[in-house]
């Protein structure tokens, strides 16, 4: 997915950055568009951006000294943005003031409010970070720098610039959560004023907001902001659908007013009668929430019945459960629609009891029960806590969870050099749904929906993930790719000899697991490829009758420069991965022509005169793979093909797949031979045709185990008929060992035929 502009204060066109003195009056620009107020024959009354509403808010919780600091920041920002206008024609300073008012609504501290007022001066006005630090302190400068984009740097593509800007912002957020709070306030105000820009740009900004910023708001528990951003994006992307749905909702509200009023009155009478003092208020799903449900469930608006609900706010936690029981006595609960987010909070700290009951006339109505503190956290999330204020203050559960997630961003960054890959990992972790699973010690872990035991293992510790070989869920062994469900108890079995598999990337869900697996494969595969590339190159030198160069031979540096490689090791790794042919590299060292490229005739000559084959042990790692299409075993006649990006792939000589590939690219095939000491437990496949009688599968498994083999995979076809076919993947040491296994299972009377699958 392409991410459009990740602007700190805006989502619009980026004015050209000019060198020169710190503050210069530049041509008029805008936060969401770049044009000055329209000219007309009559002088327009100047629009004044007032600071009074902001001051009125912050005076309620900041000291006089801190309020004066905020005013100083406003004066600095006002001077910096003098002469700038937004697309709507308002003075540009109105945007930083509006952003700061949103932050003040969260009661952020003075440093955060100063940074909100100044959040555009670095990227738009060439004000240096050092200058801000000297005038307003290091904290303010760091926050503003974290919000600002990287427009001054050179990037290969616009997407790379956007990904790097987002990476920088998230890493700054990991150090100080105020960065993202200001960024979200900035984006909210831009979305509220999006009407001043064209439809295409409006849709682009809205899609970016929906893809990036709303998941972050949800992850941080800023639910009020989350819902408003969703509805604003919905209106910008699909204006016609938004207005049609809005009218339908208003009409439905009138039609159902009588039913909802009857339910509210009944609950307001029942709760005091049970000795519970509570506030009961009506609530309805957001327009975007209704639209999303209609799309996902393929329903019309009239079919979406649970668009209205009630929120019951009580004083204490036990009263939540008492109020729930009281409502269940009034109305019949819908089975399977009760969720206890108090006992097991959501990832973002949200706590509440949810239940759906059948109201009058069969109308389903949702109720939420929570305390006032829970309601405060539910609406404002991490912004309701001073996670960033004082390191000495003990953290509550929400703060710990948020801190762990922010810390995981730094862990992923340490494993990932590419901005796009980092962004991909982080997006995975913004997945809104979650499952809650238990460790063997009873600790609860939150994982994204669809997470597997591998994700669980890496959530515990990197070493456990890297060495995972099996998993036990609810005391039963399950495959590592099994999707976990809430309430599962998970145990990971490890082995010091186990290593991560590239196949795991096909089913892991968390950014941390994906990042750790890729880091391991990238590091280990590179080292193995360098070693294997050296073996291939040594063989090529021997075949060409050339002297092997030393590691410090100056020709290596010349070859690296001419071929675009960074070092000798990179050339060897490319050879091991099949990206370069060893014969071509070897001929670069030929004394008669140091830069002679291998011609087709030379390749044929090399192929015809090859002598020393490469010895295959079967445990070389990523650089040498045994082809899954034919499953070669020690004792089989084999051939080896260099596959780009995969290294050497070993096939049986009779493999039809290998023979077709060899005809197309003969230069990529090298002679190979089994070494004397090969690896144990190599996989091969068998098809067993047998009579489908009771106990025969158990006897088959017992005979295979008695022959010192292991079943890796088993499927059965035609299991309802008298004769069935069992497809087996078994582990053996060699072709002779496989023959022993076949002889063992032939003793079973019900076995009719055994075939080794070679293609």
SS (H, E, C) 428-485: HHCCCCEEEEECCCCCEEEEECCCCHHHHHHHHCHHHHHCEEEEEECCEEECCCCCCC
Q: What is the pLDDT of residues 39-48, one digit of tens each?
A: 444 444 445 5
Residue 42: the pLDDT is 43
In a domain, 575, yes or no: yes
The tokens for 490 are 């998970």
Tokens of 731: 């582990």
Task: Look at residue 390 in the predicted model and tell me its pLDDT.
Answer: 43
Mean pLDDT of 90-109: 90
Using alpha carbons, list the distances in angstroms from residue 265 to 253, 269, 320, 366, 480.
17, 6, 19, 16, 52
Same domain, 622 and 495: no
Neighbours of 718 (CB within 10 A): 12
Domain of residue 467, CATH code: 3.10.20.30
Q: Is residue 278 part of a domain?
A: yes
CA nearest neighbour of 642 among 518, 758, 529: 529
Residue 391: both structure tokens together: 């390191």
How much is the pLDDT for 362? 76
Residue 539 has pLDDT above 60, yes or no: yes
For Cα atoms 559, 561, 565, give the angle at the middle one, nearest 5 degrees.
Answer: 85
Same domain assignment for residues 562 and 626: yes
- Residues 209, 324, single domain; the answer is no
- 92 in a structural domain: yes
Calpha distance 326→273 (Å, rounded): 10
Domain contains 716: yes
List 642's β-bridge partners, or say none.
Answer: 648
- Are 614 and 705 in the same domain? no
Q: What's residue 403's pLDDT? A: 56
- Phi, psi values for residue 687, rounded to 5°: -110, 120
437 & 375 share domain: no
Helix 178-192 vs helix 94-105: angle between axes, to the nearest 10 degrees? 120
Identify the domain boundary among 351, 383, 415: 383
Which residues are annotated as catalytic?
Answer: 123-124
Quickly state the pLDDT bin for 232 (edges 50, 70, 90): very high
447/435 Cα distance (integer angstroms): 5
Share of the chain above pLDDT 70, in %: 76
pLDDT in tens, 658-704: 888 888 888 778 888 888 777 667 888 899 998 888 888 888 988 88
Let me know if residue 602 belongs to a domain. Answer: yes
Per-residue pLDDT band for 185 (boundaries 50, 70, 90) equals very high
d(CA 391, CA 226): 28
Which residues make Cβ contacts (< 8 Å) with residue 403, sequence separation at least 6?
A: 387, 395
CATH number at residue 287: 3.30.460.10
Q: pLDDT band at 388, cuts 50/70/90?
A: very low
- The answer to whether residue 522 scores a pLDDT higher than 90 is no
Q: Is the pLDDT of residue 480 over 70?
A: yes
Separation between Cα atoms, residue 573 and residue 621, nearest integer Å: 14
What's the pLDDT band for 14 if we cut at 50, 70, 90?
very low
| Range 194-222 burial, b when 16+ CB lie within 10 A, else e | bebbeeebbbbbbbbbbbbbbbbbbbbbb
Read off the tokens for 151: 């427009």
- Same domain assignment for residues 205 and 332: no
pLDDT at 66: 92
Q: Residue 8: helix, strand or coil by DSSP? A: coil
Residue 597 neighbours by CB under 8 Å, 6+ apart: 584, 587
For the cut 60, the answer to whether the pLDDT of residue 303 exceeds it is yes
* pLDDT bracket for residue 22 (50, 70, 90): very low
Encoded tokens for 577: 């991965």
Split into its structural domains, the chain has a count of 5
Q: Using CA atoms, how far apart are residues 428 and 515, in angstroms rounded to an integer?
A: 11
* Best CA proximity match to 84, nearest among 131, 153, 32: 32
Please indicate, yes or no, whether residues 569 and 551 belong to a single structural domain of this protein: yes
Same domain, 85 and 228: yes
Can you state the angle between helices 110-117 and 178-192, rounded to 10 degrees?
A: 40
pLDDT score of 174 more than 50: yes
Domain for residue 95, yes or no?
A: yes
* 404, part of any domain: no
CA dihedral 675, 676, 679, 685 (to 10 degrees): 80
80: tokens are 């910096």
pTM of the model: 0.52
Q: Quick one: pLDDT at residue 594?
A: 39
The two structure tokens encoding residue 58: 């912050």
537 and 452 housed in the same domain? no
Distant-in-sequence, close-in-space partners of 536: CB < 8 Å, separation ≥ 6: 575, 576, 582, 614, 642, 648, 670
Cβ–Cβ < 8 Å for 115, 74: no
Provide the pLDDT for residue 271: 93
Q: CB count, 10 Å around CB of 440?
A: 10
3-state secondary structure of 675: coil
pLDDT at 641 over 80: yes
Mean pLDDT of 454-475: 89
Report the alpha-carbon distance of residue 499 to residue 622 in Å, rounded: 11
Which is nearest to 322 in space by CA: 368, 364, 274? 274
Report the mean per-residue pLDDT for the chain: 77
Q: Are residues 540 and 666 in the same domain?
A: yes
Confidence of residue 166 (pLDDT cuts 50, 70, 90): low
Q: Output the DSSP codes for 126-168.
A: ---HHHHHHHH-HHHHHHHHHHS--TTS--SSHHHHHHHHHHH
Does the pLDDT at position 25 exceed 80?
no
**Nearest 5 degrees, angle CA 335-CA 337-CA 343?**
120
Answer yes or no: is 393 within a domain.
Answer: no
- Residue 716 belongs to domain spanning: 682-757
User: pLDDT-derived band of residue 17, with 50, 70 and 90 as boundaries?
Assistant: very low
Give mean pLDDT, residues 209-238.
85
pLDDT digits 0-9 by tens, 564-596: 777 888 888 877 766 777 777 887 777 654 333
- Residue 470 phi/psi, 5° resolution? -160, 165
Is residue 363 over pLDDT 80?
no
> Which residues, in sequence order, are CB contacts of 92 under 8 Å at separation 6+?
29, 30, 31, 81, 84, 85, 86, 120
Q: What is residue 8's predicted lDDT score, i.e. its pLDDT? A: 33
How far is the C-alpha of 626 from the C-alpha of 496, rounded, in Å?
22
Residue pair 712/679 in contact by the 8 Å Cβ criterion? no
Picking from 195, 216, 237, the residue at the C-terminal end of a domain is 237
Whether 526 shows a pLDDT value over 70: the answer reads yes
* Domain final residue, candidates 350, 366, 383: 383
Determine how β-strand 279-284 pairs with β-strand 672-674: unpaired
- Give tens-digit pLDDT for 408-444: 665 655 555 555 555 555 555 554 456 778 888 877 7
Residues 233, 136 share a domain: yes
586 and 705 in a single domain? The answer is: no
Residue 217 or 599, more confident: 217
d(CA 511, CA 499): 19
Give the integer Cα–Cα distance in Å for 73 and 154.
30
Band the pLDDT of 26: cuts 50, 70, 90. very low
């Amino acid at each position: 997915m392409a991410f459009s502009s990740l602007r700190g204060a805006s989502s619009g066109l980026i004015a050209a950055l000019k060198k020169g003195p710190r503050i210069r009056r530049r041509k008029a620009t805008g936060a969401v568009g770049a044009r000055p107020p329209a000219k007309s024959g009559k002088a327009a009354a100047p629009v004044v951006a007032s600071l009074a509403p902001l001051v009125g808010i912050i005076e309620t919780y900041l000291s006089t000294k801190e309020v004066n600091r905020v005013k100083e920041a406003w004066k600095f920002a006002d001077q910096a943005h003098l002469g700038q206008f937004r697309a709507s024609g308002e003075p540009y300073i109105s945007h930083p003031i509006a952003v700061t008012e949103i932050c003040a609504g969260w009661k952020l501290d003075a440093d955060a409010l100063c940074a909100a007022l100044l959040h555009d001066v670095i990227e738009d006005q060439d004000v240096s970070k050092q200058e801000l630090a000297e005038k307003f302190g290091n904290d303010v400068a760091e926050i503003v720098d974290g919000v600002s984009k990287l427009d001054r740097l050179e990037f290969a593509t616009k997407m790379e610039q956007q990904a790097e800007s987002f990476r920088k912002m998230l890493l700054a957020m990991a150090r100080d959560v105020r960065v993202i709070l200001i960024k979200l306030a900035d984006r909210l105000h831009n979305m509220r004023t999006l009407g001043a820009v064209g439809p295409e740009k409006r849709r682009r900004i809205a899609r970016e907001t929906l893809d990036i910023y709303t998941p972050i708001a949800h992850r941080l528990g800023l639910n009020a902001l989350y819902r408003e951003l969703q509805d604003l994006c919905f209106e910008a992307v699909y204006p016609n659908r938004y207005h049609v749905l809005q009218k339908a909702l208003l009409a439905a509200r009138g039609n159902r007013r009588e039913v909802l009023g009857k339910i509210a009155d009944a609950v307001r009478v029942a709760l005091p009668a049970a000795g519970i003092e509570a506030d009961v208020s009506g609530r309805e799903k957001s327009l975007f929430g209704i639209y999303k449900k209609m799309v996902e469930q393929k329903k019309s608006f009239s079919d979406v019945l649970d668009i209205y609900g009630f929120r019951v706010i009580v004083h204490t936690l036990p009263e939540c459960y008492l109020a729930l029981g009281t409502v269940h006595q009034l109305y019949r609960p819908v089975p399977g629609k009760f969720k206890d987010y108090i006992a097991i909070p959501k990832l973002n700290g949200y706590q509440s009891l949810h239940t759906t009951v059948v109201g009058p006339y069969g109308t389903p109505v949702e109720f939420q029960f929570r305390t006032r503190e829970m309601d405060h956290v539910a609406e404002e999330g991490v912004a309701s806590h001073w996670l960033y204020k004082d390191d000495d203050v003990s953290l509550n559960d929400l703060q710990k969870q948020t801190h762990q997630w922010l810390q995981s961003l730094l862990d992923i960054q340490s494993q990932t050099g590419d901005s796009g890959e980092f962004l991909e990992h982080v997006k995975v972790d913004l997945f809104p749904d979650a499952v809650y699973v238990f460790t063997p010690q009873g600790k609860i872990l939150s994982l994204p929906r669809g997470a597997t035991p591998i994700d669980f293992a890496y959530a515990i510790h990197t070493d456990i993930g890297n060495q995972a070989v099996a998993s036990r869920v609810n005391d039963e062994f399950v495959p590592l790719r099994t999707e976990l469900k809430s309430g599962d108890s998970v145990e990971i079995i490890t082995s010091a000899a186990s290593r991560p598999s590239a196949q795991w990337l096909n089913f892991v869900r968390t950014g941390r697991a994906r990042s750790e697996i890729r880091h391991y494969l990238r590091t280990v595969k590179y080292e193995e490829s360098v070693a294997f590339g050296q073996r291939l190159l040594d063989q090529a030198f021997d075949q060409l009758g050339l002297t092997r160069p030393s590691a410090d031979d100056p020709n290596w540096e010349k070859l690296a420069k001419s071929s675009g490689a960074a070092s000798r090791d990179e050339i060897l790794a490319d050879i091991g991965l099949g990206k370069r042919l060893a014969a071509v590299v070897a001929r670069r060292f030929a004394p008669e022509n140091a830069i002679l490229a291998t011609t087709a005739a030379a390749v044929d000559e090399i192929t015809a005169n090859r002598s020393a084959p490469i010895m295959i042990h079967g445990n070389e790692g990523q650089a040498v793979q045994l082809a899954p299409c034919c499953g070669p075993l020690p004792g089989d006649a084999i051939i080896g093909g260099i596959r780009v990006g995969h290294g050497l792939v070993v096939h049986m000589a009779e493999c039809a797949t290998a023979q077709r590939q060899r005809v197309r690219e003969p230069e990529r095939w090298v002679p190979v031979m089994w070494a004397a000491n090969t690896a144990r437990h190599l996989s091969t496949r068998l098809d067993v045709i047998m009579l489908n009688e009771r106990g025969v599968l158990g006897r088959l498994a017992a005979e295979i185990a008695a022959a010192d083999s292991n079943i890796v995979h088993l499927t059965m076809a035609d299991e309802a008929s008298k004769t069935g076919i069992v497809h087996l993947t078994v582990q053996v040491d060699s072709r002779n060992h496989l023959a022993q296994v076949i002889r063992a299972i032939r003793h079973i009377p019900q076995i009719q035929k055994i075939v080794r699958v070679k293609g």
